[in-house]
Structure 1
Amino acid sequence: MEITRTFDILDNYLVRFPEKQDALAAKKNGSWITFSSKEYVKNANYVSCGLLQLGISKGDRILSVSNNRPEWNFLDMGMSQIGAVHVPVYPTISREEYQYILQHCEPKIIVVSDKSLHDKIRPIAENLLPGTTIFTFNDVPGSRNFDEILRLGESSEAEYLPRVQEIKKSITPDDLLTIIYTSGTTGNPKGVMLSHRNVVTNAKGARNIHWYNNQHKMLSFLPICHVFERTINYHVQMEGIGIYYAENLGTIGDNLREVKPELMISVPRLIEKVYDKIIGTGKSLPYIKKQIFFWAVNLGLKYDYVLKGSPFYRLQLALARKLVFSKWQASLGGNLGLIVVGGAALQPRLSRIFGAAGIPTVEGYGLTESSPVIAANNMRTGEVRVGTVGPVFENVEVRIAEDGEILTKGPCVMMGYYKDPEKTKEAIDEEGWLHTGDIGILVEGKYLKITDRKKEIFKLSSG
C-alpha cells in the first residue's frame, strides 16, 4: 500500500505485517517487553480517541520530552491521526530553552517521561501556560499518567474511532506533522516545520540503501526527538523491522548482545568509544595474541568498500576476520551488518576498520530542515566512498553554489520556520533551494564531501 502520511504506517502494518510480534520493544524490570503490530495500532487508536476526548483538535500542539520508548510512538501516531502537531524536545536542554519553546509553540498538552523532567518543566508550564495539562509516562506522584489517555480512548473507542477515521481522511501529505526546535550557537531555537510529505519521502528513500526486512531488528538509542533517529524509525516501521529501544547509553553494549540487531544508527562519538575500548582490550593481550590483534587492525586500516583489495589482501582479511574480527562482531551482538553514522564527521579510519571487521559503518548527511537526509553512502548498490557522505538521496537535488555552499531542493525541504517568515526566507531562496550553511564538493561528480562550514559553527563528534 502507498504511504503518504506517517500514520499510514499503521495500516501498512495491518496489511503487510499483521503477525509481527516485535514491532516495538523496550526493556523493563530486566526483561524485554515487545509490542506486536496489532498492539501498536490499537494503542495509537486509543491515544487518538483519548486526545479527542480531552479536547485536542487538528493543529493543536502537543509537546513531548522523553527517552526512547514504545509509548512515544503510541503518542506520536495517535496525535498525527487527528492532525495534532508533535513538538518533541530534548530532555537535556536548559530551563531557558524550555521556557522559550513552551512560550513559542503554546502546547495544549505536555507529556514527559519521568519525575525529574516533570519537576523541571511543570513550574515553567504553570507560569507560562496555566491551562496546559502535563502527563507522565512513568508513575509520578501528583501527576496524571499517560495511561489515563489510553484508558479514555479504550472506553470511548466505539464513539470516537469513526471520528478519528474521518479526520484521517481530511489530512493531506502537505499538512503540518511536527515542529522540531533546533538550537544554534546564538539566539533562540528555531522551530522547523515539517509536513507528512517532508518526512515520509525521506523515510521512503532509505529503503534503497540497505537490504533488511521484517525478519530483522534495529537497536535505537539516539534521541528519537532528533529528526535523524525519528525518520529512520518511521522507515524501519515501513519495512517491518523490529525496533528495540536501548535502556541508556551505558547499556548499549549489553543491549546489542541481548537483542543481536542487524541495523543501528549512531553518532561518531559512540563508534570512537567502541573502537577505543576494543583497542584497549587488544593492548592487554599476551604478546603473541597482541601481535596478531594489531596485525589485523593494520590490515583493516587499508580496507576499501569497493575495491576490496588484491587476492592476497582478501586472503589475509579472511584470516583476520576468523582470528580477531569475529570477536569484535560477537561483542556487538554478532549480527550487526550496518551502522549508519550522522550528526558529525566520522573518521575515515573508523569506517575502514569496522568495514574490514564485517561491520560496515558508513556516513550520511542532512539537516533538520531537510527531514533530514540529503546524502548517504549506499551499501546495497556499492556506492560507498570513505571520507564522503555518499551519493545524493532519492528525491533530493544538490547543487554547489559559486561560493561552495551546498544547496538542496526536493520534497524533503521544510515548510519553514514556525512564526518566523524572515528566517525562512534567509534559509530557502526564491527558487526553492535550501541553503545548508555547509561547504562541500562532489567527488567523482557524485559523492558529496563536506569540507567546511560557511559560518563558524562547530559540531562535536557526539552530534
Structure 2
Amino acid sequence: MDARDVPQSARSLAELFQRTAAARAGQIALRDSGGAVELTWREYAERVRRIAGGLASLGVRRGDTVALMLTNRPEFHLVDTAVLHLGATPFSVYNTSPSTQIAHLFRNAGNRVVVTERQWVTTVGAAGGAVEHIVCVGGEAEGALTLADLEARRPEGFDFEAAWRAVGPEDLATLIYTSGTTGPPKGVEVEHRAILACLRSGLDLPHLGAGARGGRLVSYLPDAHVANRYFSHYLAMAAGASITTVADLKTVAQVLPAVRPTVFLGVPAFWYKVQTALTQAITAQSGVRRRLATWAMGVGRAAADRRASGRVLPAHLAIRLAAADRLVLRRLRARVGLDEADAVITGSAPIAAGAVRFFQSLGIELCEGWAMSESSAGGAINRPGEIRPGTVGRPMRDVEVRVAADGELLLRGPTLMRGYRGDKERTAEAVDADGWLRTGDVGTVDADGYVTIVDRKKDLIVNSSGKNMSPANIENAVLVSCPLAGSVVAVGDRRPYVVALIVLDPVAAQALAPGDEDTAVLARLPEVRTAVEAGVARANATLSRVEQIKEFQILPGPWTPGGAELTPTNKVRRQVIAERYAAEIEALYRR
C-alpha cells in the first residue's frame, strides 16, 4: 500500500502505527544520536505494548490524559505512542516550564500520571494537581516508578488489541499548549482525525512524501510544539521513517552530517547560523578556492532566480550549474548534512527572503511553511521548484486560506482543532460558525494562491505618523545581517521612529572576544558594539527609510527560551519586554 493511502484508510494513529510496525518490522525505527539506543519497528511495537499495559495497571483508560516532560529521546516516542494505544491523550510539557505554569497545565488537562526524567521529578511534584503517579525515565527517583518497573507490570484482564482497535478518529491524540505570549497557555485539543488529515496533506506533497517514505528524520525541537510531533513522531508512523533523537540542541549541526536526513525542519535561527557559518568558511578561503566558491554560489543563485520566475534554464546556464554543483555546491550541502534531503523546511517564525535565496544558491530548496497548533500543522507551504521567497507558499491539500476585511488570515480545513480545553468562550472567538479559524496573522493571498504573512495582528507597529510596519521584518533583517545578534526586538509603536533592543548570541560573541563568557561583559566591549553597529547598518540598507533602526541598545542578557522574555519556542514576549526594559527604551528616544 502506498504511504499516502495509509492515513486515508486508518481510523486512528494507533492503527496507523500498527500497520507500519508490521510492514517495516525489521527496519530501524528509533535511535538516539549518541548510539546508545537503537530499536527496530518490531521492538518499538513490543515496547509500546508493554508500556501500555503498565499504564493500564495505573488506571489509565480511554479519555484520560498523561503528561510527558522529557528531553528528545527515544522514550518519548515509546510512551507517547503507548498512551495513544489506550485511547488516552498524551501531552508534552516544555522542559523550561516552572512549577507554577506546570500546575496550570495539569489543572487544565486533569492528568493523574506524569512521565519525566530525574532532573524534573521535584519540579513535577511541586506542581501538584491530581497527579497520583510519576514515572521516571533514565534512572531512579524517590517516589517514582522507573520505566522498567512500569513495563514489568501485568494488568489483570487487559486486552491490548481490543484497546487500540477501540480508538477512533474523534478521540484526542494530544493537547498542544500554546506558548502564552499574551496570557496563560491555552490547551489546543487535537483529534486523531486532524493529525491523519494533516498527514494525508503532507504525504500528498511529492517532496515530503518522497523524503518521508522509509526515510530518515531528526527529532530535536520540543515535542510540546506541534511541528516536532508532526515532522518526526507522526510522520514516522505514517511513512515508516527512522527517527534519530537529539537530546542536546547545540549538537544538531554535528548530528546532521552523520544522519543525512531525508526530511528536515529548521527554525529561522538555525538557518541563519548555518548561513553565517558557511559564509565565513567561504570568506576564510583564499585564491582559487574562494573565487571558485563565489562563482558557484553566483551560478546557483542565477539558476534559482530563473526557476522562481517560472523560466526554463538556458543550455549554457544548465551546463554551468552542473559544473558548479559537481565542483562546489554538493560538497557544501554534504557539509551541512542535507545532501540527501528531499524536503527541507523552515517554519515556526518568519524567515528573511535573503536566507531562502542563499540556500537556493546551494541547491537546497528551503521551503517556508506556515501553520498553527490550532490547525495541527496543516497550513501553507512552498514547494521545490515553485518557491517564492518572502511567501509561505500555497495551501496544502484540503486547506483553505482567505483574507478577512481587516487583513487577518482565516484558515479552514479538516486539520482544525476540536477547541481550547475547558474554554468554550475563547474557542468561539477563534473559530466562527462556518469553521474559519482566526489565525491572528495579517497577510495577503495573491492570484496564484501564495500566502504572505505581514505580521501578527497584535504585533504591528504603527508609528506616530500612522505608518504600519512589521517588527518581524525589521528584526529578521538584523538577524540576517548581524551574526552577533541572538534576539532582536524592534520598538516603534506610536513613536516617531524605530529603535531596537539586541541580545547577543553568546557563541558568536565569544568568537569575537575569546576568553569572555559573560554576555553582560561582552555587551559592553567596544569591538562588540562596533560589530553590531555594522550589522545594523547592513540591515538598514535592506529596509525602507521608515523601517530603519535609528538607535539600538545591546542588553546584557542572556535570554533563554521559556524565560521571561522568550516563549519556549523562542518567540519574543513583546509586552513583557516593553515593561521590563521601559527605561532602556525611553533612553533610546532621548539620545
By the TM > 0.5 criterion, same fold? yes
Q: Larger relative contact order (C-alpha < 8 A, sep ≥ 6)?
A: 1
Q: Is the 8 A contact 2:15 2:164 kept in 1?
A: no
Q: How does 1:374-385 map to 2 (within 5 A)?
A: 374-379=379-384, 382-385=385-388
Distance 1:337 1:212, change over 3 A: closer
Task: Map Cα deviations across residues 230-279 of structure 1 (whole Å, 9 max, x no partner).
Answer: 12221232111111112422211221122222221111110110110111
2:335 equivalent to 1:335: no
- Residue 78 (1) aligns with residue 82 (2): yes
Aligned twin of 2:137: 137
1:167 corresponds to which of 160, 163, 167: 163
How far 1:347 sits from its partner (Å)? 1.9
Maintained 8 Å contact 1:177/1:196:
yes
Show the counterpart of 2:376: 371
Partner in structure 2 of residue 225 of structure 1: 224
Deviations 1:390-411 (A, max 9, x none): 1111121222212221111111
Aligned partner of 1:363: which letter?
E
How far did 1:290 drift? Answer: 2.0
Q: Is the 8 A contact 1:181 1:191 kept in 2?
A: yes
- d(CA) in 2 for partners of 1:364, 1:32: 34
Distance in 2 between residues matched to 1:148 and 1:229, nearest whole Å: 28
Paired residues of 1:364 and 1:373 also in contact (CA < 8 A): no
Compare 229-238 and 405-414 and name the one that shifted more.
229-238
Which of the numbers 38, 63, 77 marks the counterpart of 2:67?
63
1:181 counterpart residue number: 177
Which protein is bigger by CA-based radius of gyration?
2
Tell whether 2:360 aligns with 1:355.
Answer: yes
Letter in 2 for 1:146: L
Q: 1:159 to 1:428 in 2, by over 3 A?
A: same
Residue 401, structure 1, aligned to residue 408, structure 2: no
Q: Secondary structure at the match of 1:292?
A: helix
Mapped contact 2:48–2:82 kept (Cα < 8 A): yes
Q: What is residue 250 of structure 2 aligned with on the other side?
A: 250
Distance 1:383 1:284 in 2: 33
Cα separation, 2, equivalents of 1:83 and 1:203: 19
Query: What aligned pairs does 1:24-423 form with structure 2 within 5 A after superposition?
Result: 24-27=30-33, 30-31=34-35, 33-112=37-116, 114-125=117-128, 128-129=129-130, 131-142=131-142, 143-152=144-153, 155-156=154-155, 159-160=157-158, 162=159, 164-209=160-205, 210=207, 211-233=210-232, 234-302=234-302, 303-304=304-305, 305-306=307-308, 307=311, 309-333=313-337, 334-379=339-384, 382-423=385-426
Structure 2, unmatched stretches of 5+, are 1-5, 461-470, 477-569, 572-591
Change (3 A) 1:308 1:360: farther
Q: 1:441 aligns with which of 414, 439, 444?
A: 444
| Aligned-partner SS, 2:327 | helix
- Asked if the contact 1:205–1:395 (Cα under 8 Å) also holds between the matched residues in 2, the reply is yes
Return the letter of the residue paired with 2:452: K
CA contact (8 A) 2:211 2:343 kept: no
Do the aligned partners of residues 147 and 238 (structure 1) sit closer, same or farther apart at CA in structure 2, a change above 3 Å counting?
same
- Offset at 1:453? 2.1
Corresponding residue SS for 2:37: strand
Structure 2 CA distance for partners of 1:68 and 1:193, relative to 1, 3 Å: same
Residues 130-154 of structure 1, C-alpha deviations (whole Å, 9 max, x = no match): x5211121114323212222222xx
**Greater alpha carbon shift after TM alignment, 367-376 vs 256-265:** 256-265
Determine the C-alpha separation between the residues in 2 that align with 1:416 and 1:319.
Answer: 53
Structure 1 residue 213 displacement after superposition:
4.9
Listed as ranges, the matches of 1:443-462 within 5 Å are 443-456=446-459, 462=570
Amino acid at match of 2:166: S
Distance 1:339 1:86, change over 3 A: same
1:40-96 Cα shifts (integer Å, max 9, x gaps): 111111121111111112222111111222211111111111121112111123343
Question: Aligned equivalents of 1:176 and 1:208: distance in 2?
Answer: 24
Does the Cα contact within 8 Å between 2:68 and 2:114 map onto a contact in 1? yes
Distance 1:60 1:92 in 2: 25
**Letter of the 1:24 counterpart:** L
C-alpha distance in 2 between matches for 1:216 and 1:185: 35
- Report if the CA contact (8 A) 2:253-2:336 is conserved: yes
Alignment of 1:11 with 2:18, yes or no, is yes
Cα RMSD of the aligned pairs, angstroms, is 2.2
Distance in 1, matches of 2:341 and 2:253, equals 12
Aligned-pair identity (%)? 28
The one-letter code of the counterpart of 1:150 is E
Structure 2 distance, partners of 1:358, 1:4, is 39
Can you give the 5+ residue segments of structure 1 that lack an aligned partner in the other structure? none
C-alpha distance in 2 between matches for 1:6 and 1:67: 22
TM-score, normalised by the number of residues in structure 1: 0.91
Which SS does the other structure have where 1:373 is aligned? coil
Alpha-carbon spacing, 1:165–1:273, altered in 2? closer, same or farther (3 Å): same
Query: Residue type of the partner of 2:347?
Result: G
